[in-house]
Copies of this chain bind each other. A is one copy, B any other.
Amino acid sequence: MPEHMGTHIDAPVHTVQGMWKTDQIPIEKLYGPGVIINVKEKVKSNPDYRVTVEDLMMWEKKFGEMPRHAIAIMNSGWSDKYPNKTQIYGSTQHTNISLFHFPSWHVDAVTWLINKRQINAVGVDTPSTDFGQASSYPCHLTLGKNNVVGIEYVANLDKVPENGSTIYVPVLKLFDGSGGPVRVFATFDDEPNITNAAAILTSLTSYFCFVIFFSMILLREIGL
């Protein structure tokens, strides 16, 4: 099983030498308040969309200032495309990365999350924390040099409230790893307005929901 397969993290050392390897990431960086940035509408008309600082401002306008040490994940609706590789990459040519079209973060938004909100990790429901048309990897590099974890191929984000969850990213503690597979999930209290989520939740006080995962089921099919 490769480190960067399925729902997985990029350890900071993946892009910047000397930064944390998978086994070195402090546990307190692997969970935090969930911040879901919903850009599904914007992505519909623009598969090259990148989450902007303005999107983050809009989230704060709705929910208040983001908690420190959050796990922020873009919900672009991209997980609906699995396991169709052509749809995931936005291209019929699956080995020519210059033709890829899928959304992700703008480096300015990532920088803002790091500097202004001390983010713990930044995630996407697409193949990369840099968008498909990226020719360089500014988000990867910014995350790496700031020792911030990236999370790729997250799923089921519609089932998690945009605010108020706790997201866990308990990556396998791979020795010397540059990343690693993980079954990300969220816990949150049941609320009357979260009907979809409620349906799959249990009756404990703190509810537990799968956030992630395409994981291996689909990965075996498409070999990502």
Measured CB to CB, the residues of A under 8 A from B are 1, 6, 23, 27-28, 31, 166, 168, 170-175, 177, 181-183, 185, 200, 202, 206, 208-210, 213, 215-217, 219-220
**A208 neighbours in B (Cβ, 8 Å):** 27-28, 31
The answer to whether B168 touches A206, judged by C-beta atoms less than 8 angstroms apart, is: no
The answer to whether B170 touches A181, judged by C-beta atoms less than 8 angstroms apart, is: no
CA distance A192 to B46 in the complex (A): 53
The answer to whether A202 touches B172, judged by C-beta atoms less than 8 angstroms apart, is: no
A-B CB contact pairs (8 Å), 21 listed: A1-B1, A23-B215, A23-B216, A27-B185, A27-B202, A27-B209, A28-B202, A28-B208, A168-B170, A170-B170, A170-B183, A170-B185, A171-B183, A172-B182, A172-B216, A173-B183, A173-B215, A173-B216, A173-B217, A174-B216, A206-B206
Q: Shortest distance in angstroms between A7's beta carbon and chain B's nearest beta carbon?
A: 9
Q: Shortest distance in angstroms between A32's beta carbon and chain B's nearest beta carbon?
A: 8
CA distance A82 to B190 in the complex (A): 41
